[in-house]
């Protein structure tokens, strides 16, 4: 029996719908990408569930998406024969937003349409994007495995509520019927639809079909007047369906057959990013575990980069069947900004996700992919700055165009993701040295965050035995710290660290390439051979002479300071605070205090 019920959208959905229809206006056509991607996900899910239950395929084993339109009714329909939805699933999935972070996301919206549209794109409004072009959406669906009379119809005008009722539907899967707004009628046109699908959905591995059309001349009304006597001709449907996409997953195609645009569009489709990626790597990895990897580094950080629990952007496929997009199984957390696809032919298909995560093959894929990302970054770092000065032979190096395109990219990458990368020092011991080489800091000789440990070492003074650094909240605070005085006087470079994670990360890095790292704020800075004998002697004499004063000061500061010493580290300032060598730095102490510890 068909009983109709009207239900309200979850508050966030109602709010989101309002935003979608009002802000995404300038980028209307993405609705088609979202709906086709849902259809494709639904087919992936059926394929996955079907591995253990082939009855789910019923009598339609060929999975596909059909796009059709009705000019008179002004409807556009996207139909798939994927997993489908039960009535409860339709209520749950099309009336609420299950994604974590929705509230956060809402809080980030600024009210500025252009900016918000970008955020919404990143967040991926998915199904609700249909309301950009439709003032009413009807969804008809039946879940694979349920009886024909257990279908569902879901209707909404995209405002406060939606209706659901039970229907009989012979075909498994889902039809999304968009009742187009007057200003979206351009989508009632096969050419337009094909163009948008080619742009956004060509990489989809399942066939997208449209009904073939033919040109039909208008009827001759007045045979004596060949030109004026005809009704206008038009395209008519032929009843025959044709596949309009390449229908082969992008990553399975040979590199040489894929254009930069196609790589970029695929990236946008899987990342919800509006911008093209900074770089990518597409490889077939052979060896013990064979797999294909297509990994992207975004140009801009997403709004939720700091959410360490967020789902990673790397998806695992086994022989083109989507298996999981579990973050940590495929990428370490500190590389959570990487997007892409890994497709393996070796993994068993019909094994639980839990077991997969523990599999040796998955671990080796993760290691291989981590290394690949690090080499991509190393490559960017290597080409970040070109030495355009003439070499010793007086001939300027030839710079090839590809390398030229990489100039400045690492600095740009680092300003977006550098702080996240540093988490790797504590997380990925195996790659710590490679990571350390990728770190960049500002220093007393460079305000720009471009100094690597290797650059620093190359500039070290004769006799200098440590890499000196200081941590502070801001660059200005770091630069003006009294603790730097003696270093300035002696012309010794000091790295200025102002990221919140620096302090924590440096706990995991005691040295670089054999040279110890030394905080200028800790203990008695020993400048070793950089200090001349006369200075040492003067310091010792001063310590003797000031003994009574020091004793008084110590007494006065009994509860506040552990020790009071004469120092050579100051030049202009009368006094400064330092911590003991094994003590927590002032910066870290402040951070912990802020965090309530
Ligand atoms: P997402 O795809 O990121 O999960 P969407 O808003 O695009 O978010 O879709 C919400 C949910 O609705 C999907 O997760 C899925 O459960 C369901 N859904 C949407 N379209 C379909 C479809 N064509 N077939 C089956 N389920 C669908
Ligand atoms: Mg979706």
Concatenating the DSSP letter of every residue in 474-521 gives SHHHHHT-GGGHHHHHHT---EEE-STTHHHHHTT--EETTEEEEETT
Checking 50-54 for CB contacts under 8 A at 24+ apart, the result is 50/144, 51/321, 51/349, 51/350, 52/350, 53/145
The protein residue whose alpha carbon is closest to atom 3 in ligand 1 is: 126
User: 281, 260, 277: which is closest to 268 by C-alpha?
Assistant: 277
pLDDT, one tens digit per residue, over 360-391 is: 888 899 999 999 999 999 999 999 875 444 44
pLDDT, one tens digit per residue, over 161-178 is: 999 999 999 999 999 999
The atom of ligand 1 lying closest to the CA of 173 is 24
Q: Which residues line ligand 1 (CB under 6 A)?
A: 34, 38-39, 41-42, 80, 82-85, 93-94, 124, 126-127, 174
- Residue 423 contacts residue 333 (beta carbons within 8 Å): yes
**Average pLDDT value for residue range 338-350:** 85
| Gap from CA of 41 to ligand 1 centroid (Å) | 8
Q: Which residues pair with 469 in a beta bridge?
A: 495, 519
Mean pLDDT, rounded, of the chain: 84
What is residue 304's three-state secondary structure? coil
The atom of ligand 1 lying closest to the CA of 89 is 16
- N-to-C CA span, the chain: 60
Site to substitute for ligand 1 among 16, 41, 56, 158, most atoms within 8 A of C-beta = 41
| Gap from CA of 14 to ligand 1 centroid (Å) | 17
Residue 101 pLDDT class (50, 70, 90 cuts): low
Burial of residue 499 (CB within 10 Å: 0-12, 13-18, 19+) is middle
pLDDT, one tens digit per residue, over 535-584 is: 677 777 777 777 787 788 778 877 777 777 767 666 666 666 666 666 56
pLDDT score, position 389: 43
pLDDT, one tens digit per residue, over 386-435 is: 544 444 444 555 556 677 788 889 999 999 999 999 999 999 999 999 99
**How far are the Cα atoms of 299, 322, 378, 410 from residue 405, in angstroms, in the given order?**
14, 34, 15, 11
Residue 118 pLDDT class (50, 70, 90 cuts): low
Task: Give the Cα separation of 371 and 340 in Å (integer).
Answer: 15
Q: Which ligand has the shortest distance to the CA of 39?
A: 1
pLDDT score, position 545: 75
- By residue count, the chain amounts to 597
**Average pLDDT value for residue range 291-296:** 96
């Amino acid at each position: 029996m068909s009983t109709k019920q009207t239900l309200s959208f979850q508050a966030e959905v109602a709010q989101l719908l309002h935003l979608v229809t009002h802000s995404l206006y300038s980028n209307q056509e993405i609705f088609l990408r979202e709906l086709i991607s849902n259809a494709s996900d639904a087919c992936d899910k059926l394929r996955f569930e079907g591995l253990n239950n082939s009855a789910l395929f019923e009598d339609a084993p060929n999975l596909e998406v059909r796009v059709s339109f009705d000019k008179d009714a002004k409807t556009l329909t996207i139909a798939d024969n994927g997993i489908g939805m039960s009535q409860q699933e339709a209520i749950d999935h099309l009336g609420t937003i299950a994604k974590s972070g929705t509230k956060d996301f809402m809080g980030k919206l600024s009210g500025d349409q252009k900016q918000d549209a970008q955020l919404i794109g990143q967040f991926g409004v998915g199904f609700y994007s249909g309301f950009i072009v439709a003032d009413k959406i009807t969804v008809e669906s039946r879940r694979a495995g349920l009886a024909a009379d257990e279908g569902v119809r879901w209707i909404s005008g995209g405002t406060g509520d939606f209706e659901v009722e039970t229907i009989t539907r012979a075909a498994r899967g889902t039809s999304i019927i968009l009742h187009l707004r007057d200003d979206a009628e351009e989508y009632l046109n096969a050419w337009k639809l094909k163009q948008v699908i080619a742009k956004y959905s060509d990489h989809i591995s399942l066939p997208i079909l449209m009904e073939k059309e033919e040109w039909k001349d208008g009827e001759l009304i007045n045979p004596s007047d060949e030109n004026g006597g005809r009704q206008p001709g038009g395209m008519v449907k032929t009843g025959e369906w044709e596949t309009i996409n390449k229908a082969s997953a992008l990553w399975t195609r040979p590199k040489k057959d894929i254009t930069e645009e196609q790589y970029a569009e695929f990236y946008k489709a899987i990342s919800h990013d509006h911008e093209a990626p900074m770089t990518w790597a597409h490889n077939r990895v052979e060896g013990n575990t064979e797999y294909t990897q297509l990994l992207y580094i975004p140009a801009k950080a997403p709004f939720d980069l700091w959410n360490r629990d967020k789902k990673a952007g790397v998806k695992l496929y086994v022989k083109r069947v989507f298996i999981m997009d579990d973050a940590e199984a495929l990428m370490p957390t500190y590389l959570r900004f990487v997007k892409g696809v890994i497709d393996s032919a070796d993994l068993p298909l019909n094994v639980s996700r839990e077991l997969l995560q523990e599999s040796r093959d998955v671990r080796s894929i993760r290691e291989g992919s981590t290394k690949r990302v690090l080499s991509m970054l190393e490559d960017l770092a290597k080409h970040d700055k070109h030495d355009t000065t003439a070499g010793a032979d007086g001939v300027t190096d030839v710079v090839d165009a590809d390398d030229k395109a990489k100039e400045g990219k690492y600095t740009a990458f680092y300003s977006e993701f550098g702080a996240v990368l540093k988490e790797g020092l504590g997380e990925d011991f195996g790659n710590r040295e490679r990571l350390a080489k990728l770190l960049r800091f500002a220093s007393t000789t460079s305000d720009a965050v471009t100094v690597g440990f290797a650059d620093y070492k190359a500039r070290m003074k004769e006799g200098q035995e440590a890499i000196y650094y200081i941590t502070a909240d801001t660059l200005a605070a770091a630069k003006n710290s009294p603790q730097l005085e003696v270093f300035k006087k002696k012309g010794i470079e000091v790295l200025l660290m102002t990221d919140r994670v620096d302090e924590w990360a440096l706990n995991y890095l005691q040295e670089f390439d054999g040279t110890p790292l030394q905080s200028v704020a800790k203990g008695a800075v020993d400048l070793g051979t950089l200090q001349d004998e006369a200075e040492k002697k003067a310091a010792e004499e001063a310590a003797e002479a000031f003994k009574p004063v020091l004793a008084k000061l110590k007494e006065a500061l009994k509860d506040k300071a552990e020790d009071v010493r004469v120092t050579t580290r100051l030049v202009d300032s009368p006094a400064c605070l330092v911590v003991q060598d094994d003590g927590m730095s002032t910066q870290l102490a402040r951070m912990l205090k802020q965090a309530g510890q």
